[in-house]
Amino acid sequence: MPESTSERLARLLALVTYLSDHDDVPVAELAEHFAVSRAQILRDIDTLWVSGTPGYQPDDLLDFSSDAYDAQRIALTNARGMDRPLRLGTTEAVSLVVALRAMQSLPGVADTPALSTALAKLTAAVGDAAAGAEKVSLEPRTEPLAQRVAEHAAIVREAMRTGTRLRLTYVSAADETTTRLVDPLELTSDGDYSYLRAWCLRADAVRHFRLDRFLDLLPDGAAQPHPEAGEVGTSLRPQDAALRVTLTLTPRSRWVAERYGGTVTAEGETLEVELDVASTAWLTQLVLDLGADVLGLQPDTLARDIAARATRALAAYEEEVA
Amino acid sequence: MSTVAPAERAMNLVIALTHTPHRMTRAEIRSRVNGYADAPNDDAFERMFERDKDMLRDLGIPVVTLVNQAHGDDVGYRIDTEHYRLPAIDLTPEEIGVLSAAAQVWQGAHLDPVARRAVTKLRAISPAAADDVGARLRVPPPEATFEPLVRAATTRARVSFRYRAASSSARGSITPARRRVEPWRLVARDGAWYLQAWDLDREAERLFRLSRIAGSVSVAEADSATQPVPADLRREGAPPRRCVLAVRPDRAAALRLRAVVEGPEEQAPEDAASEPVPEGYERVVVLESDLEALAGMIAGYTADVLVLAPADLRAGVIARLRAAAALAAQPAPNRQEADADA
């Protein structure tokens, strides 16, 4: 996604403030600090170098050391009085305060001391700007196994901190119990359920495991790095999906596309969502969970399969009713 | 003449309006601030300047308007440096790490760049971030109506919008009706955003799903809302209910994790009598408050798990099974069958 002008302007101003306080900083360090590429930092410095007060004579401009610049280091020599840190706008303050509060509901994260101190400091610094945050509330579903999930989350976080491999006994959506070795990558939550994103040694690929389906979890030696595992924060989309399906859904089921990385291919009175799924068992669970919100499913063979299973279940109900 | 990038032009505007001894008029800005001379005509300049001024204010930069009384509509601008500054905030490496992780909560939502911008500002005065929390939370991306509604709730303003009621059925396309409400708060729950508000026409509290609001929201002036906001807006969660299930041996291990062990004296006598466990099944009791979610989970087990009680849970599961069974007779797709090998 290309950067917006306001994001870039915020960074240009932040760079001046930061460099007023830090003399002679390597470009690489600035890039890491502001989470952008080195090339972007150099473009930003080039822009700042020609910025200043009207007249734009040498003394009017922000200035940097050329010698340092040539050595891939940045040293600000004239800040033109732009060294003040810029306050947060109202929406900015609200977005962060609400996000921090929401994180306090994450199993295994809620007790991170930095979370509550950051929230307290931020709230104090933005004052009234965060008033809107009082009007926003994220209410994640309370997991029936909340305590168990929190215990597993704590083990996972400790394993991530210490680089430990885990032996996980897990019940899949297909109701199959397996024990496998995993190297934990991150904990994620979609607001409803918590997941462990991990490198599964059995699959030799990244897998998501729902924490409320853990039967057992034990440390098992040292984990290995998995550079091929990709960035943190990727969606729940299966990386080696076995099957592409098209679901016809009611419009209110749009979240399915968002949560599982599907593509909305048609939208009107009904919604067509193309979805890559890892297994038919997972899909069966999803279709039955959605119930009447699923109006159609392609391929047809799969739809007939799921329908047959549902029909057999209905028969079981009638038998025991009789 | 080379064109000046928008961020560079805005940067120069910020510096100019910070340093101006009194104020700068639009004419001065156009002729003196680097970048504005690129505007080919008056209209283009006005659009360019208005957009930049809005962006600066959106960023929290206090651009004040000063009108010269002597010259009628002679308007000038400057930046109020007093109110520009972020109050001292001394963040530790762990805290800036946590804030960076928090900004990612909005991934994919329109608040995503907003939160990133806020973190950039904090990084200006922060040490290098420590390894972050290793955990990500994702919330449903709020609709564009989110911001005006938060503002309205904060300023106690009435709003009106067109709303597709749930009763118009999932598939229906009944013309959305105009609703006039006093917003109380926004709630994310079950993968969606809701507005909790006082409905002026129905004279009652209502919950509106943001995705059903059609078009934009009109916000009235601040303090136009008159209905007192209840002290506790949190709605009581339903108490857990005792659900009696029949589970095939060695099946549904994830569901069995939730099972409660109860002695014979805890068993309600009526379900032992009226709901006998069918042959080939075992009795499993779970406590659950969200029966809709549980029904979705149980339906996924198809014939491996049957509900004996309560009746509404049983009905929820059977409804899902019926809907899935109906897929066998689904109409032919209106396009090529999806390629299963893709």
CATH number (domain holding residue B27)? 1.10.10.10
pLDDT level of residue B223 (50, 70, 90 thresholds): very high
In sign, the C-alpha dihedral spanning A151, A157, A162, A164 is: positive
Q: Is the CB of residue B261 less than 8 Å away from at least one CB of chain A?
A: no
Task: For residue B310, say if its preceding peptide bond is cis, omega within 30 degrees of 0.
Answer: yes
In chain A, domain spans: 5-78, 90-135, 145-222, 243-319
The DSSP line for B265-286 is GGS-HHHHHHSPPPTT-EEEEE
The answer to whether position B88 is within a domain reads no
The partner residue sitting opposite A9, judged by closest CB among B59, B86, B303, is: B59
Q: What residue spans of chain B are helical by DSSP H?
A: 6-19, 26-32, 42-58, 93-103, 111-123, 146-155, 253-256, 269-274, 291-300, 311-325
Please report the ipTM that was assigned to this predicted complex.
0.79
**Range from A5-9, B189-193, B338-342 carrying the lowest mean pLDDT:** B338-342
Residue B32 has pLDDT above 70, yes or no: yes
In angstroms, the Cα distances linking B330 to A293, A305, B113 are 13, 13, 42
Give the integer Cα–Cα distance in Å for B62 and B52.
Answer: 13
Q: Which of the two residues, B125 and B189, has the higher pLDDT score?
A: B125
> Does the residue B23 lie in any domain?
yes
pTM (predicted TM-score): 0.78
Stretches in chain A below the pLDDT threshold 50: 321-322
SS3 label, residue B72? coil
The answer to whether residues B223 and B270 belong to one domain is: no
B146: domain CATH number is 2.30.30
Confidence band, pLDDT 50/70/90 cuts, at residue B171: very low
Q: How many CB atoms lie within 10 A of CB B51?
A: 13
| Substitution target from B50, B330, B334, B337 for chain A, most A beta carbons within 10 A | B330
Contact A70, B105 (CB under 8 A): no
A307 vs A301: CA distance, rounded Å: 10
Query: B1 pLDDT band (50/70/90 cuts)?
Result: very low
Q: Among the listed ranges B82-86, B256-260, B332-336, which one has the minimum average pLDDT value?
A: B332-336
Q: What is the pLDDT of residue A221?
A: 92
Closest Cβ–Cβ partner in A100, A108, A307 for B324: A307
Q: Are residues B213 and B249 in the same domain?
A: no
How confident is the model at residue B166, as a pLDDT? 57
> Is B338 a member of any domain?
no
Chain B touched by A262 (CB under 8 Å):
no
Of A95, A114, A212, nearest to B98 by CB-CB distance is A114
For residue B201, which of B230, B174, B179, B219 has the smallest C-alpha distance?
A: B179
| Domain identity same for B249 and B198 | no
Say whether residue B105 is in contact with chain A using an 8 A CB cutoff.
Answer: yes
Contact with chain A for residue B64, Cβ under 8 A: no
Assess whether pLDDT exceeds 90 at residue B325.
yes
What are the pLDDT digits (tens) for A105-134? 777 777 788 999 999 999 998 888 788 888
B residues 274..313 contacting A (CB < 8 A): 276, 278, 286-290, 293, 296-297, 299-304, 306
| Averaged confidence pLDDT in chain B | 85
Question: Do both B147 and B232 map to the same domain?
Answer: yes
Would an 8 Å CB–CB cutoff place B254 in contact with chain A? yes
Expressed in angstroms, the distance from the first to the final Cα of chain B is: 51
| Any domain includes B33 | yes
C-alpha distances in Å from residue A155, one per residue of A185, B97, B131, B146: 13, 21, 18, 37
B287: closest CA among B262, B314, B250?
B262
CA B279-B285-B290 angle, to 5 degrees, is 125
Lowest mean pLDDT among A19-23, A231-235, B212-216, B276-280: A231-235
Look up residue B37 and give its two tokens.
């001379």
Nearest Cα to Cα of residue A298 among A269, A275, A320: A275
Contacts of residue B5, defined as CB under 8 A and 6 or more positions apart, other chains included, come to: A47
Structure confidence at residue B341 as a pLDDT band (50, 70, 90): very low
Q: How far apart are CA B14 and CA B36, in angstroms?
A: 13
CB A282 within 8 A of CB B294: no
A106 near B138, Cβ under 8 Å? no
**What's the confidence (pLDDT) of residue A16?**
97
Task: Answer with the one of B236, B251, B266 that is the final residue of a domain.
Answer: B236
Token digits of residue B212 = 């059903």
Give me the amino acid identity at B200: L
CB neighbour list of residue B169: distance below 8 Å, 6 or more residues apart:
none
Q: Which residues pair with B154 in a beta bridge?
A: none
**pLDDT of B249 above 50:** yes
| Percent of chain B at pLDDT exceeding 70 | 87
Higher pLDDT, B287 or B165: B287
Euclidean distance between CA atoms B121 and A15, whole angstroms: 9
Please state, as a whole number, how many other Cβ atoms lie within 10 Å of the Cβ of residue B255.
22
| Nearest CA among A136, A153, A141, A140 for reference residue A96 | A136
Domain identity same for B59 and B111: no
Q: Is A230 left (phi over 0), alpha (psi -120 to 50) or beta?
A: left
Mutate to test the interface with B, among A51, A192, A244 (most CBs of B within 10 A): A51
Residue B146: inside a domain, yes or no? yes
Mutate to test the interface with A, among B3, B95, B235 (most CBs of A within 10 A): B95
A114 to chain B, any CB pair closer than 8 A? The answer is yes
Domain span at residue B308 reads 241-328
Q: Which CATH architecture has domain A145-222?
A: Roll (2.30)
The first and second tokens of residue B236, run together, are: 């009581």
Judged by a CB distance cut-off of 8 A, whether residue A240 touches chain B is no
Where is A282: in which H helix or E strand?
helix A280-290
Q: How far apart are CA A65 and CA B54, in angstroms?
A: 34
Other CB atoms within 10 A of residue B79 CB = 20
Cβ–Cβ below 8 Å for A118 and B99: yes
CATH architecture of residue range(s) A5-78: Orthogonal Bundle (1.10)
**Rounded distance between C-alpha atoms, residue B304 and residue B306, angstroms:** 7
- Domain check: are B147 and B63 in the same one? no
Examine the domain organization and report whether B245 and B232 are in the same domain: no
Q: Are B114 and A294 inside 8 Å of each other by CB?
A: no
Peptide bond into A251 cis (omega under 30): no
The region of weakest confidence among A73-77, A90-94, B321-325, B328-332 is B328-332
Query: Hey, is the C-beta of A307 within 8 angstroms of any chain B C-beta?
Result: yes
Number of domains in chain B: 4
CA atoms within 13 A on the CB side of B124: 27
Same domain, B299 and B250: yes
Reply yes or no on domain A243-319 having CATH 3.30.70.
Answer: yes
Are residues B18 and B35 located together in one domain of the fold? yes
Does the beta-carbon distance from A141 to B173 stay under 8 Å? no
Residue B161 and residue B145 in contact, taking contact as beta carbons nearer than 8 Å: yes
**CA dihedral for B165, B168, B173, B175, sign (positive or negative):** negative
The H-or-E segment that residue A100 falls in is helix A90-103
Check A175 against B304: CB less than 8 A apart. yes
- pLDDT recorded at residue B139: 76
Contact B125 A85 (CB under 8 A): yes
pLDDT tens for each residue of A6-19: 999 999 999 999 99
pLDDT at A65: 95
